Amino acid sequence: MSVTHIPFSATGYFSKLICDYLDKKPELSQFYGNFPDVAGFKNQIQSKKMAFSAASRNILVDALQHQYKNTAASETTNQNIASLSDGNTFTVTTGHQLNIFTGPLYFLYKIVTAINLADRLKKEFPLQNFVPVYWMATEDHDFEEIQYFNVNNTKISWNRESSGAVGRLTTAGFEAVFNEFSALLGTSKNADDLRELFKNAYLNNENLAEATRYLVNELFGSYGLVIVDGDDAKLKKSLSPFVKQELLENTSFDIVSKTDQLLSAEYKIQVNPREINLFYLKDALRERIIFEKNHFTINNTNLTFSENEMMKEVEEHPERFSPNVIMRPIYQEIILPNLAYIGGGGELAYWFQLKNYFNALHVPFPILVLRNSVLLATKKQLHKLDKLGISVPEIFSKQEILIANIIREHSEIKIDFSEQKNSLQQQFSALKELAKRTDKTFLGAVNAQEKKQLNGLDNLEKRLLKAQKRKLSGVVDRIKEVQKELFPNQSLQERNQNFSEFYVAMGKNLIPLLINNIDPLKFEFAVIEFE
């Protein structure tokens, strides 16, 4: 078993924003706080300790104990929940949608990063305690994004009508999903374990939030992971002052819009703020709150509130106000003694938009930690690469580029006209000097002829490469085969495949394999070999 690490920037799959962040580019420094290193965490501990009250800790512990009343939590998880009342306990948090059966592999990688980061911080700061947290996005309503998962090149979907927060959806209809999934698994003990896990999660729980809590607790509870559901009246009460401010002053819109103007000079903006970044949440309803004609209205409904009525609603029913992507980070950070948020590149991109908003609300901005990324490869697959002369970093190349490079290496004919092009350019350089000394109008014709002949060499090189691809079609097919295995749909494995495919092969060894081979602060792509 081996692990190969590749810089994120060398994979071609990560944005300029994320690469610049990891490289600590000065132009990005105003958009985040402490950097994810030991010194940064030392500073973060001090600022969060001063900002997070004992009363907030008690509210959190009370809410979590209530949320876990029907969950068979491990002793470690129960100890972690109880420890949150202690002023020396802090969290590191990741969050994700309630994807069916975890959805793509990176769901697991986020949580493993959180668990390993908490363990790493315990070693660095032995006088404090650190708790890994998974924040369930129970209030999200993008059902189309979570209703399926991919197994053995088959898309398995939970087909039903949906409205409102996905966490509140009943689990009706999962029998059909289970039957389709079960038919793809085979007859091994590991396959049977997966069937049992799926049934216990989705056929024995009433709604999607409860099903997801059961599933994640089964996979990670032994590591002390604490699962938080933000759709909770006790926790929402703490958000009420910020909700009122948002409704009356459009605070987030004003501040985030100004930040976006600065950030967009170099980077792509991930999300756009609305004038009010809140939804109204009730029963099967989750709709935007809009202010128009001196009243608050709920989009796509007949519900209307005066200012006084809306303030009363916030006071009496805080659970009816659901933050969107702009305000959810604030909600998370005011109810958790949190040090860091762990997310993928797209997630962290919108957190960079929020630093000044946090400052205005006097809430400590968390350290941003890029989650670990992993490619799981069998020994056999890595042997195929070796036989083809493909290094592990090279397999991340786009397929056409990879094939062209390998064909050039395998070809008995040199498919590289660089020398000829250099020689041609030197000859034309001399002609250009001659033109300048005689008739400058002749220079345009020289440049045009140079371009024509260089293009001709490019075309000849492409034709020769195409001919060699046909001649070495067996090599081309083997390259495509192994890259398809490791990069389904010519995309990252972690964004396509479900953990169940690897659980069938590894069983209960899968999670420990990830835990033992992922470094949360290394910030490189890990290629992990398994049998």
DSSP string for residues in 448-511:
HHHHHHHHHHHHHHHHHHHHHHHHTHHHHHHHHHHHHHHSGGGS-GGGT--THHHHHHHGGGHH
Give the CA angle between residues 155, 177, 514 to the nearest 5°: 65
Asked whether the CA dihedral 375, 380, 383, 384 is positive or negative, the reply is negative
Say if residues 366 and 333 touch (Cβ distance below 8 Å). Answer: yes
pLDDT of 259 above 80: yes
Please tell me the distance from the alpha carbon of residue 178 to that of residue 190, in angstroms, as a whole number. Answer: 16
b/e 480-498 (16+ beta carbons within 10 angstroms → b) = eebbeebbeeeebbbbbbb
Please tell me the distance from the alpha carbon of residue 3 to that of residue 72, in angstroms, as a whole number. Answer: 34
pLDDT of 332 above 90: yes
Residue whose entry in the numeric block shows the structure tokens 């010194």: 39
pLDDT band at 457; cut points 50, 70, 90: low
Residue whose entry in the numeric block shows the structure tokens 């209307």: 304
> What is the helix (H) or strand (E) element at residue 176, kind and residue range?
helix 174-183
- Mean pLDDT calculated for residue range 497-514: 97
pLDDT of 12 above 80: yes
Please tell me the distance from the alpha carbon of residue 466 to that of residue 469, in angstroms, as a whole number. Answer: 5
Q: Across the chain, what does the average pLDDT equal?
A: 92
Say if residues 316 and 245 touch (Cβ distance below 8 Å). Answer: no
Q: At what angle do helices 418-438 and 442-471 cross, to 10 degrees?
A: 170
Please tell me the distance from the alpha carbon of residue 25 to that of residue 9, in angstroms, as a whole number. Answer: 14
Sheet holding 226-229, edge to edge: 226-229, 129-136, 89-96, 338-343, 367-370
Residue whose entry in the numeric block shows the structure tokens 């991930």: 270
Give residue 421's pLDDT.
Answer: 63
pLDDT of 366 above 90: yes
pLDDT of 430 above 90: no
pLDDT of 183 above 70: yes
Q: DSSP letter at 95?
A: E
Please tell me the distance from the alpha carbon of residue 14 to that of residue 27, in angstroms, as a whole number. Answer: 18
pLDDT of 329 above 70: yes
Please tell me the distance from the alpha carbon of residue 11 to that of residue 14, in angstroms, as a whole number. Answer: 7
Say if residues 418 and 461 touch (Cβ distance below 8 Å). Answer: no
pLDDT of 425 above 80: no
Asked whether the CA dihedral 130, 132, 137, 139 is positive or negative, the reply is negative
- Mean pLDDT calculated for residue range 496-525: 96
Q: DSSP letter at 202?
A: I
Residue whose entry in the numeric block shows the structure tokens 């809590």: 213
Give tens-digit pLDDT for 34-50.
999 999 999 999 999 99
Token readout for 486 is: 């490791």
- Mean pLDDT calculated for residue range 207-222: 98
E strand map for 98-181: 129-136, 148-151, 154-157
Report in angstroms the alpha-carbon separations of 140 from 210, 245, 299, 303: 15, 22, 16, 21
Token readout for 244 is: 């009122």
Please tell me the distance from the alpha carbon of residue 362 to that of residue 357, in angstroms, as a whole number. Answer: 9
Percent of the chain residues topping a pLDDT of 90 = 82
Say if residues 109 and 494 touch (Cβ distance below 8 Å). Answer: yes
Pairing between β-strand 285-292 and β-strand 295-298 as defined by DSSP bridges:
antiparallel
| Dihedral pair phi/psi, residue 472, rounded to 5° | -105, 40
Give residue 417's pLDDT.
Answer: 59
Please tell me the distance from the alpha carbon of residue 516 to that of residue 269, in angstroms, as a whole number. Answer: 35
pLDDT of 175 above 70: yes
Give residue 316's pLDDT.
Answer: 97
Say if residues 234 and 66 touch (Cβ distance below 8 Å). Answer: yes
pLDDT of 224 above 90: yes
102: Cα separation from own chain's centroid: 13
pTM: 0.89
E strand map for 8-153: 89-96, 129-136, 148-151
Least confident of 177-191, 215-229, 331-345, 396-410: 396-410
Give tens-digit pLDDT for 469-502.
565 566 778 888 999 999 999 899 999 999 999 9
Q: Which domains does the chain have, with CATH numbers?
A: 1-170+208-373+492-531 (3.40.50)
Position 477, amino acid = D
Token readout for 157 is: 């979907």
Please tell me the distance from the alpha carbon of residue 473 to that of residue 481, in angstroms, as a whole number. Answer: 12
- Mean pLDDT calculated for residue range 422-444: 73
Give residue 456's pLDDT.
Answer: 66
Name the β-bridge partners of 291. 296
Give residue 160's pLDDT.
Answer: 93
Residue bearing the bigger pLDDT, 444 or 60: 60
Say if residues 226 and 311 touch (Cβ distance below 8 Å). Answer: no
Q: How many CB atoms lie within 10 A of CB 142?
A: 11
